[in-house]
Each structure stands twice: as C-alpha cells, then as structure tokens.
Amino acid sequence: MNFLQHIFTIFTFFLLGERILVDGLGCNWGLQATHPLPPDIVVKLMKDNGFNKVKLFEADPGAMRALGRSGIQVMVGIPNDMLAGLASNVRAAEEWVQQNVSNYLSRRDVDIRYVAVGNEPFLKTYDDRFTRTTLPALQNIQAALIKAGLGRNVKATVPLNADVYESDTGVPSGGNFRPDIHDLMISIIKFLANNGAPLTINIYPFLSLYLDSHFPVEFAFFDGHAAPIVDGSFTYTNVFDANYDTLISALEKNGFPSIPIIIGEVGWPTDSNTNANTQLARRFNQGLLSRINQGLGTPKRPTPPDIYFFSLIDEDAKSIDPGNFERHWGVFNFDGTIKYPLDLGHGRNLTAAKGVRYLSRQWCVMAPDANLMDPNLAQSVSLACTYADCTSLGFGSSCGGLDARANASYAFNMYYQTMNQRSGSCEQFHNLSVITKIDPGFHGGSCRYEIMIDTGRHQQARNPGTSAAGKMCSNCVVSWVVMLALVVYGYLII
C-alpha cells in the first residue's frame, strides 16, 4: 500500500467511524425552563456532542430559527391541547403546517423530517381525553403536508407511551395492544404504514423500577448482570429489549411486522429519587450509547431504530405530577454543564455548552443570626419553593442530606435566582435571609446552589400571585415537604 492509499484508507475509516457515531442518535429538547439556554448555544451543544436529530415538543420560533442550516434533522411537535382543533378543522391543520413546517423549510432551511402529533395522548391518566381526536388530527396534518407538497419528505407520527401495549404472558411473545385502545391503535398504525411514516414509542426502564419496588434492578441496565428471561428461542437480559420486542410481537400479531419504529424518548433522570442519580444515569446512558455505536438492535429486530435521548438539558419549570425527577432528565444541567462523563465512541467525550452567561456571582441564604425556631421560617421556605424549583431537597435527592439551615438557604437561593436576583427578592423572608458573595455550596458534593443563566433580557420576574403561580404551582407539594421537615427539625432540637 503506497502513502496515498494509506491516507485514503485512514480518511475513509474516519468518515465511517463518524457516521457510526451519529447515525440514529437524537435527543429531546424541552423548553419548560425559567432560564432557558439561548437556542443558538443549544444547537451548538447538540452538534458538538454528535446529536444529529432533535425532537421538539412544540414549534418554538427561537428553537426553529436556530436549527436552520444546522444539519440537524427535526421532529417538531404539536401539544395535546391542540389536537381537538386540528381534528375538527382541516383548514386549521393546513395553517399549522404552513406556519410551522413550510415556513421554516423554505425561509430558514430547517431540515424538518417529522411532525409529532400530540405526545403520549393515550396515557391512562388522561382518562380518554384524547382518544377521539388523535387519529383525526394525525390524518388532517398528513393531508395538510401532502397539500403543501411535503408529504414525501415530511411524515406525521404520534409519539406514544409504551403502555399502549402489554403482554398477557409476562414475556415479549405475548405482546398485544391494550384492549381499550386496540382498534384505535390498529387504525393509527395502518394509517402510518399507508403513508410511509414510522411508529414512535417512548420507553422508560427507569419508570419500571420507579413504579414497582419488586422490579429487578439489574434488568434495567444493559451490562448483562441480570438473570435472563427466556422466551422461546430468544433470551432477554434487559427490560428495554423485552419491552421493545413486546411491541414487535403486538405488531406481528396484527399484521404489521415491518413498520419502522422510532424510540421517541428514552433516558434516566439524575435527581429527586433514590434511583435517580448520576451514577445510575451514567450506567444506563453509557450502555445505550454503546449499543447505538455498535449498531445493536433487539432479538426480534437486530437493526437498531432511531433513538432520541430524553433529554438534552434539565427543565426546572416542568410538571412534577409524575414525580420530582421530571425536572432532571437531562444529560446536561440546565446551563449546559456536564453532569457525568459519557464515552461517545471513537475517543470522544461530552462537551459542555460554550458562551453561557450567568447572573452575578451572589447567593441568597439564611442569615447567620436568624433563628431556626422563628415562626416565619416554614412559611418563608414554603413561599420560596412555591415559585422556584426545590425538587433537589427531597428524600433521596442530591440536596436531601442538608441540615435545616442549609435547607432554608437552598430554598431562598432558588427563589432569588429564579427571580433574576431582582432587587428585593432576597428580602421577602421576614429578615431571615441575606445576600452573600461566598458560595454556600458543598464543594465536591452533589448539591449545587445555583446561579441562573443571564438570558440577556433580564425580564421582570413575576411576583407571587401572578400567572407565575400557574407555571410553578407544582412546586407546592415540594414546599410542604420542605416546610414539614423544618418543623420536625425544630421539635427535635427543642
């Protein structure tokens, strides 16, 4: 082999290696944050870390503009509360496609590949709220895409939770669709197949562990330490494969053995539950990444699907109805800093966000001379945690081991930062708090006393009693927990 041939071989190997690294690797980009990263920084963060596909839950203008000419393929979402209007009005679907697909394709060169019609609309907790509108909305959006001349390149799909199928035998071969939505699922899958669109499914091994205290922990991970489950000629060593192949069995039984599948969401949270921590998240996501880079599928489908990690960054304003961990699914912290190391393959590691600007380096903490027995303390902590994210203070969380004074300081600071360090926002706690320029955090520990991102706008933060309460009211549960902990602590020290 001469020198030029040698260089060509190395160059070809490099290209193929890069292709293996990024093919099928996507992420979810959620926008429910009080201080979101600027969209251009997020797009650069994705590109720096090899994510070439992104799923958005809505057509946010800032995110869509930043994705223009980025080389990142986009799945743009439609929220569930829009399904009824789109289902009943073809014109509304056409207008949505024009504004949120055609417009960005033609004017911004956004590489839109899919429209996600709704998000897990058949969850049992929705009590059939969206069962009658999802399919008509899907049909109208696809018709609107075709009318706009986009039907060949842009496909409509419906991201569904894995609870739309089940196994009556406890093994994947017994898979079938839930009886209450069986006929509806077949209609949706038939429509997707007829239009060359994929079926999108969200799979969460963490939730298997969270919802079942008897679930075998090792079966949630990919490193082969679990006792295997044998199903005929197939052997399963992790719940992801077993769950996915339960879906494949359901599809095969109903006449759709070959429809393409996208994993719309899969990941592991890092806080606010005993099983939600950086160690387990790293173990799960590293195992998943290694499978993707090796091109590994499941026993019934050896070819891997496109996979969208959930999620890219944390969202501190996300609903905590499913659990406090909902705000901590990110591979990165809210500001794009790295939570834990991941080997992306071919010698590449995670890269943090660049160009992030922060508010002033100062914190709001409990005053040194403030009394833990002050009758206003519990009420003050409750106020702080009603309007800011205190989920990291719960049992089993990263800040769950703080004493009462540090606990209150954390709550006060989260409120102060959420309010953009606004003048007077640290003085609302009955003389119990004070501003400091000394980091109150535990260096080297997992508990972070945050300083929020300077969004560049410094918009006036909402006061208690405004619509901010609606956005952050899900913190009320957390605030009561924190308040109770302080009261109990008070009794203990009497």
| Distance (Å, whole) CA 112 – CA 83 | 20
**Domains in the chain: boundaries:** 3-51+158-349, 363-493
Please report the pLDDT score of residue 455 as a whole number: 85
Query: Is the dihedral angle over the CA atoms 470, 474, 480, 483 positive or is it negative?
Result: negative
Q: How many C-beta neighbours within 10 Å does residue 106 have?
A: 9
Name the more confident of 492 and 253: 253
Determine if the peptide bond prior to 311 is cis (ω within 30°): yes
Name the more confident of 287 and 456: 287
Q: What's the average model confidence in pLDDT over 153-162?
A: 98
Please report the pLDDT score of residue 478 as a whole number: 52
**pLDDT, tens digit, 9 for 90 and up, residues 383-405:** 999 999 999 999 889 999 899 99
The two most distant CA atoms of the chain are separated, in Å, by: 84
The residues annotated with a catalytic role in the active site are: 120, 265
pLDDT at 227 exceeding the cut of 90: yes
AA identity, residue 120: E
Q: Where are the alpha helices (DSSP H) in 89-212?
A: 90-97, 103-107, 134-147, 182-194, 205-211
Q: Please, what is the Cα angle at 239 between 32 and 177, to 5 degrees? A: 80
Please report the pLDDT score of residue 487 as a whole number: 43
pTM, 2 dp = 0.89
Q: What's the average model confidence in pLDDT over 88-99?
A: 98
| Distance (Å, whole) CA 143 – CA 145 | 5
CATH architecture entry for 3-51+158-349? Alpha-Beta Barrel (3.20)
pLDDT at 466 exceeding the cut of 60: no
The tokens describing 224, both together, are: 């082969």
Of the candidates 222, 300, 306, the residue with the CA atom closest to the CA atom of residue 268: 222
Q: How many C-beta neighbours within 10 Å does residue 181 have?
A: 21
pLDDT at 289 exceeding the cut of 90: yes
The tokens describing 165, both together, are: 């199928």
pLDDT at 247 exceeding the cut of 60: yes
Of the candidates 351, 199, 220, 203, the residue with the CA atom closest to the CA atom of residue 279: 220
Q: What's the average model confidence in pLDDT over 279-303?
A: 96
pLDDT at 339 exceeding the cut of 80: yes
- Contacts of residue 328, defined as CB under 8 A and 6 or more positions apart, other chains included, come to 269, 270, 271, 272, 276, 314, 391, 392
Average pLDDT over the chain reads: 89
pLDDT at 491 exceeding the cut of 60: no
Rounded to the nearest 10 degrees, what angle do helices 476-493 and 377-387 cross at?
160
| Distance (Å, whole) CA 322 – CA 326 | 7
**pLDDT, tens digit, 9 for 90 and up, residues 436-449:** 999 997 655 689 99
pLDDT at 2 exceeding the cut of 70: no
| Distance (Å, whole) CA 247 – CA 177 | 8
C-alpha pair distances (Å), 101 with each of 30, 40, 251, 356, 454: 19, 19, 30, 29, 31
Name the more confident of 301 and 9: 301
Query: Is the dihedral angle over the CA atoms 76, 81, 87, 93 positive or is it negative?
Result: negative
* Bridge partners, 453 (sequence order): 358
- Looking at the chain, the whole-number percentage of residues with pLDDT higher than 70 is 87
Please report the pLDDT score of residue 445 as a whole number: 67
pLDDT at 459 exceeding the cut of 50: no
- Residue identified by tokens 């709220």 is 129
Cβ–Cβ under 8 Å, residues 138 and 130: no
